[in-house]
């Protein structure tokens, strides 16, 4: 009897300042056969960001067209700007047999769980809220009011830990160890009995 595991939909979420972007970039550098979904957003591009790599940067009007045309698996308003997951990217990658990794906020992850009960939800965080604040302050991309809003949101997000399958702490200076843990989770999920049978 030949068994082959179905491709995984891996959702990486968590608090602001947890290092989600850095973790995903480090995971990409491992050269695994994984499709990394590029999220669409209506917010302006930051100086260090690359179109089509970090995000798909679109106008608010275009984003609203994508919503109206059902081109997004999930979308939300995050800190006053749209963010969403392009449907075609995800479905084509899964159909090709590749695992799919996408990065969304906690609200988006909970929405995806309803659509894809078999998705693997991973919550990424810093050690604590003090570390989240320190990382956000060092980024220097938020004003004081925005920083406070992100910290309040992080508190709410941490209250939803139990809605996720895994919790991974991305400790300062231990990026590669964090990536090792994510790879171990992906490998383990491919060996779950119910997944081998195509069940959630």
pTM over 0.75: yes
Q: Given this structure, which CATH class describes domain 9-37+98-196?
A: alpha beta
Residues sharing a CB contact under 8 Å with residue 29, sequence separation 6 or more, in sequence order: none
**What is the pLDDT, as a whole number, of residue 153?**
72
pLDDT over threshold 70, residue 197: no
State what percent of residues in the chain have pLDDT above 90: 55
Question: What value does the mean pLDDT take over residues 113-139?
Answer: 76
Distance (Å, rounded) from C-alpha 102 to C-alpha 168? 16
Question: What value does the mean pLDDT take over residues 109-122?
Answer: 92
Question: What value does the mean pLDDT take over residues 165-190?
Answer: 94
Question: What value does the mean pLDDT take over residues 6-29?
Answer: 90
Query: Model confidence at 138, in pLDDT bands (50, 70, 90)?
Result: low
CA separation (Å) from 162 to 15, 76, 106, 121?
14, 21, 12, 10
Question: What value does the mean pLDDT take over residues 56-61?
Answer: 96
Nearest to 154, CA basis, from 10, 12, 17 = 17
Question: What value does the mean pLDDT take over residues 154-175?
Answer: 86
**What is the pLDDT, as a whole number, of residue 199?**
45
Q: What average pLDDT is seen over the chain? A: 85
pLDDT over threshold 70, residue 129: no
Question: What value does the mean pLDDT take over residues 43-49?
Answer: 90
**What is the pLDDT, as a whole number, of residue 2?**
45
């Amino acid at each position: 009897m030949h068994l082959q595991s179905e491709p995984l939909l891996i959702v990486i979420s968590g608090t602001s300042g947890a290092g989600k972007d850095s973790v995903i970039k480090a995971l990409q550098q491992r050269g695994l056969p994984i499709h990394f979904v590029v999220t669409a957003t209506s917010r302006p591009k930051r100086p260090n960001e690359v179109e089509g790599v970090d995000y798909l940067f679109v106008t608010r009007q275009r984003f609203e067209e994508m919503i109206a045309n059902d081109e997004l698996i999930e979308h939300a308003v995050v800190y006053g700007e749209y963010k969403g997951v392009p449907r075609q990217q995800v479905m084509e990658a899964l159909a090709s047999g590749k695992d799919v990794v996408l990065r969304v906020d906690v609200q988006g992850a909970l929405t995806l769980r309803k659509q894809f009960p078999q998705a693997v939800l991973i919550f990424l965080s810093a050690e604590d809220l003090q570390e989240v604040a320190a990382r956000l302050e060092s980024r220097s991309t938020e004003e004081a009011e925005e920083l406070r809003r992100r910290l309040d949101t992080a508190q709410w997000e941490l209250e939803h830990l139990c809605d996720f399958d895994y919790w991974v702490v991305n400790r300062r200076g231990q990026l590669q160890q964090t990536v090792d843990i994510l790879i171990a989770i992906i490998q383990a999920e491919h060996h779950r009995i119910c997944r081998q049978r195509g069940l959630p």
